[in-house]
Amino acid sequence: MNILNLSYICPRSNQNEHQMKIAIIGTGYVGLVSGACLAETGVTVTCVDIDERKIALLNRGQIPIHEPGLAEIVARNQASGRLFFTLSTREATRKADAVFIAVGTPPDEDGSADLRHVLAAAGEIGECMDHPLVVITKSTVPVGTNYRVKATITDALARRGVDIPFDIASNPEFLKEGDAVNDFLAPDRVVIGVESDRAREVMERLYHAFSLNNVPILFMDIPSAEMTKYAANAMLATRVSFMNDIANLCEAVGADVELVKRGIGSDSRVGNKFLNAGCGYGGSCFPKDVRALVKTGDDFHHELELLKAVERVNERQKEIIFHKITRHFGDNLAGKRFAIWGLAFKPGTDDTREAPSLVLIDRLLRAGATARVYDPVAMPGTRERLGDVIEYATGMYDALQGADALVIVTEWAEFKVPKFTFIERALARKIIFDGRNIYDPVQMKRFGYTYYCVGRPSRDDT
């Protein structure tokens, strides 16, 4: 899909009294991308955060997260006077038409979403607002959270002894890390939950640029909008776990999961998205959202058996490459050295939350092995998280020096067509464990490698 056509938007040089103004609380992944992209459509946006260091970075034009294309959009809209960053919620909301809550909802110990930051933001809005607002929840939250946001704001206003009307809306995000700018500016749809005509009018105005480009704007009730976000991620996670389960069966029966994927993906009822077999999903969305939806089901005495199985399959799949390693080398890996390509949970991001790489590294170290890793963007964050228990290479081929095997965990583009002569010279043994099926087993056999992948015939079977 083409990026949103912005050619008709009002002149970018000057603000005017009719231009829409919004505030966004939270400058994490969702808040920063949303704020920058809405500014790109002509809206004046002020982003708020309590992290002084982050706001200072942003005001200097530095981006605290890795997301392709984001830095350029932030710089352009700061220069055009449409994107601002502040520590003050009161300042951000002073002349705003609407305020987004886009703070994190990390998982609690029981799998539920931790709503402390969402409700704290709602309370701060109630303490600061001095005119009618539409309060929009962008954070991923369980069904019913928007009504808790409404109650929190109402309580804050009552404590102040003021009666200021406000409306609420739910506007969940559907952004893929590594492609979030494109996803925001060229969405498949925009989902909006409202309960009042005024909230709908404000949201229609906010997304007017998208309507002009024929993007479907799907209005619905607030609980349905909240559920849509969780259901979408749960469906995608289900497809991933389903295909991984099929891949493991393919290995057992001698089938090739890549051919099976083509066979089922060509069916228009199935489609070919999210059918790649591998070593499991990770990141900040799928694991958290599946667990939160399961917890919601439990809270309402409805067991989501399918999603519990999805999570079990995924946790098992994260260990599949380690099990292939121990089947080849034995359980005691003392003295063995492994080169690992890829740390991020997927290409295009530096996010290692719940990444399969972390599970693999932990299992290798506990088995007595050492690991030397390379990732194009995720190594600084990994070093902060793991310290020096692993070695950090300066490049993909530097990671290979003297290693007993290469292990591929993230399918970065630069790994897909490597210089195999470099690999052969650097590795102590010509062994590759491929957790993302980026090479052809037949070709690897021809090159003389012992090659293990997921759901495809290995070297000895081709």
Catalytic residue among 128, 279, 285, 453: 285
228 vs 47: CA distance, rounded Å: 26
Name the residue among 226, 212, 265 with its Cα closest to residue 242.
265
Q: How far apart are CA 449 and CA 455, in angstroms?
A: 18
What is the rounded CA–CA span in Å between residue 270 and residue 243?
12
Q: Decide: 342 and 382 in contact? Cβ < 8 Å.
A: no
**Helix/strand number for the chain, H first, E second:** 19, 14
Tokens representing residue 428 in the block: 């102590």
φ, ψ dihedrals at 371, nearest 5°: -135, 140
Residue 37 designated active-site: no
> For 414-428, b where at least 16 C-beta lie within 10 A, e where not — what string?
ebeebebeebeebbe
DSSP-derived 3-state class of residue 272: coil
For residue 318, give the amino acid letter.
K
Q: Which residue has the tokens 């002509």?
A: 42
Amino acid identity of residue 304, one-letter, is: L
Classify residue 11 by its DSSP letter: P
Quote the CA–CA distance of 190 and 194 in Å, as a whole number: 13
Cα gap 47→99, rounded to integer Å: 10
- Here the tokens at position 5 are 């056509």
Number of neighbouring beta carbons within 10 Å of residue 411: 18
**Could you tell me where the DSSP H helices lie in 80-142?**
89-93, 116-128
Instruction: For residue 257, give Cα distances in angstroms to 100, 304, 347, 386, 447.
Output: 43, 27, 22, 34, 22
Of 393, 396, 389, the closest CA to residue 364 belongs to 389
Going by C-alpha positions, the residue among 30, 346, 388 that lies closest to residue 183 is: 30
How many CB atoms sit inside 10 A of residue 72's CB? 12
Pairing outcome for strands 133-137 and 431-434: unpaired
Long-range contacts of 383-389 (CB under 8 A, 24+ apart): 385/352, 385/358, 386/358, 386/361, 389/365
Active site residues: 285
